[in-house]
Amino acid sequence: MAPRTFVIGAGMAGLSCAVGLSSLGREVEVLESAPHAGGRCRSYFDDHLGRRIDNGNHLLLSGNSATLSYLSEVGADDTLAGPDRAEFAFYDLERRAGWTIRPNAGRLPWWILAPSRRVPGTSAWDYFRAARLAGAGPSETVAQVLDDGGPLYRRFWHPFALAVMNTDPKEASAALLWPVVRETLGRGETAYRPRIARVGLSESLVDPALACLRTRGVEVGFGRRVRRLERTGDRVTAIDLGERQIAVGEEDSVVLAVPAAVCASLLPDLVVPTEYRAILNVHFRHADTPPGLPSMVGLVGGVAQWLFCRQDMVSVTVSAADAVEGPPEKIASRIWAEISQVLGCGGTKMPPFRVVKEKRATFAQTPEQTRRRPPARTSWRNLVLAGDWTDTGLPATIEGAVRSGRKAAEAVSHLSDGP
């Protein structure tokens, strides 16, 4: 029998790994505990709103190369939407003023010399401070490196870093933000055009992958919660699903692509991140957006941080939202009061809403927690890890998860070479 790989978890990391392995013609079986794939990145029908919604707004950038090649491989590269040029609209809720950052085409960022294209109140010189991220030490935070008390930090770096890291910039690792800046902002306008799923996260990132796996004969089993990994000597010998056990043969391998906390329960001797940060999304059914309003607006000076408009829904994202608590009605009305300024409908009745708080949206990307990220290879010779929380060198994002899956697929292909 050909060697098999069991991929545990069908989130972005597990799907990317299964797609990668099956493209090499390897025999793969995916075991997913939930009745659906996608994990923290998926869409579902919300009865109250009468609409399909995403568990949270997910933003990609055109420089997220691994995600784009994953989409291309599963035949979904036309499922993202976004402007032809990078442009970022912002609105200051406290000062009631908006502005748009308008980078130029081409790699050389001369736009920072043009006051009408850059953040108001900043000088071209302020932008060079970003280079300090390249030399950030492993214990330094984003705020320590970038916060000079000036408007560029408040109006750009703070919201950008908070969105990417889902951790307050005062405690987020500066060294971990650097690769994102290098691979997107540092590569010129074509690498940081915003991209969102045109219809929904599942329609872009999940369903096409499942269809691709089906055509390659990969079985994706839902409702299969792995309860224990049996280990004998230096390898995994069985996967315990409770009602039955799957024997893992001498040539077989296992990719564990589950969240860090689940990994810790299956492999208690492994060091993994232990702290998390929440992301809050409030979805409103509201069709009446003013003409010309961009589909995404960054917000500063309030609770709401990003506003997304898609069809007849407007959604707000709040990262590192652990402290935003209280009854959903109260949270929604506070956020509605803020965004109705931007939507030009101040004073109107709040439309139907849904508040979704993902308490463990990502691990807390502090220097201390970042040091706890394990590599893909483990001390069990046929067991490989994947997930946005593993040591990908990137923050916990879709791009990080997809790359971890790819890395795990490569590691599985080289398992016979030894650790």
Nearest distance from C-beta of residue 182 to ligand FAD, angstroms: 16
Nearest distance from C-beta of residue 121 to ligand FAD, angstroms: 27
Nearest distance from C-beta of residue 350 to ligand FAD, angstroms: 21
Find the angle CA(99)-CA(62)-CA(188) to the nearest 5 degrees.
65
Burial class (CB in 10 A: 0-12, 13-18, 19+), 389: buried
SS3 92: strand
Label the pairing between strands 97-101 and 88-92: antiparallel
Binding mask 373-392 for ligand FAD (x = CB under 6 A): --------------xx----
For residues 227 and 348, give the distance between their C-alpha atoms in angstroms, rounded to a whole number. Answer: 50
Total chain residues near ligand FAD (CB under 6 A):
36
Which residues ranging from 147 to 166 are in contact with ligand FAD (CB under 6 A)? none
C-alpha closest to that of 391 among 363, 413, 417: 363
Q: Please select the residue that binds ligand FAD; options are 86, 119, 206, 226, rule is CB under 6 A.
A: 226
Instruction: Give the nearer residue to ligand FAD in terms of CB position, either 170 or 228.
Output: 228
Nearest distance from C-beta of residue 311 to ligand FAD, angstroms: 18
Q: Please select the residue that binds ligand FAD; options are 20, 43, 58, 338, rule is CB under 6 A.
A: 58
Which residues ranging from 22 to 41 are in contact with ligand FAD (CB under 6 A)? 31-34, 39-41
The sheet with strand 194-197 has its strands ordered as 60-61, 194-197, 80-81
Instruction: Give the nearer residue to ligand FAD in terms of CB position, either 68 or 112.
Output: 68
What would the DSSP string read from start to end of 329-380? HHHHHHHHHHHHHHHT-TTSPP--EEEEEEEEEEE---HHHHTTPPPSB-SS
Stretch that binds ligand FAD, among 179-187, 288-296, 320-328, 354-362 (CB under 6 A): 354-362
Judged by CB under 6 A, does residue 297 bind ligand FAD?
no
Stretch that binds ligand FAD, among 134-142, 256-264, 286-294, 295-303 (CB under 6 A): 256-264
Judged by CB under 6 A, does residue 396 bind ligand FAD?
yes
Among positive and negative, which fits the CA dihedral 90, 92, 96, 101? negative
Tokens encoding 320: 């590192």
Judged by CB under 6 A, does residue 8 bind ligand FAD?
yes
CA 109 to chain centre: 26
Burial class (CB in 10 A: 0-12, 13-18, 19+), 152: buried
Question: What's 15's DSSP letter?
Answer: H
Judged by CB under 6 A, does residue 209 bind ligand FAD?
no
Nearest distance from C-beta of residue 234 to ligand FAD, angstroms: 22
Instruction: Give the nearer residue to ligand FAD in terms of CB position, either 30 or 174.
Output: 30
Residue type, 73: E
C-alpha closest to that of 337 among 328, 346, 325, 326: 346
**b/e map of 244-256 (b: 16 or more CB within 10 Å)?**
eebebeeebbbbb
Nearest distance from C-beta of residue 389 to ligand FAD, angstroms: 7
Instruction: Give the nearer residue to ligand FAD in terms of CB position, either 184 or 397.
Output: 397
Judged by CB under 6 A, does residue 13 bind ligand FAD?
yes
Binding mask 258-287 for ligand FAD (x = CB under 6 A): xx--x----------------x-x------
Task: Answer whether 142's CB lies under 8 Å from 157's CB.
Answer: yes
Judged by CB under 6 A, does residue 18 bind ligand FAD?
no
Q: Which residues bind ligand FAD (CB under 6 A)?
A: 8-14, 31-34, 39-41, 55-56, 58-59, 225-226, 257-259, 262, 279, 281, 358, 361-362, 387-388, 396-399, 401
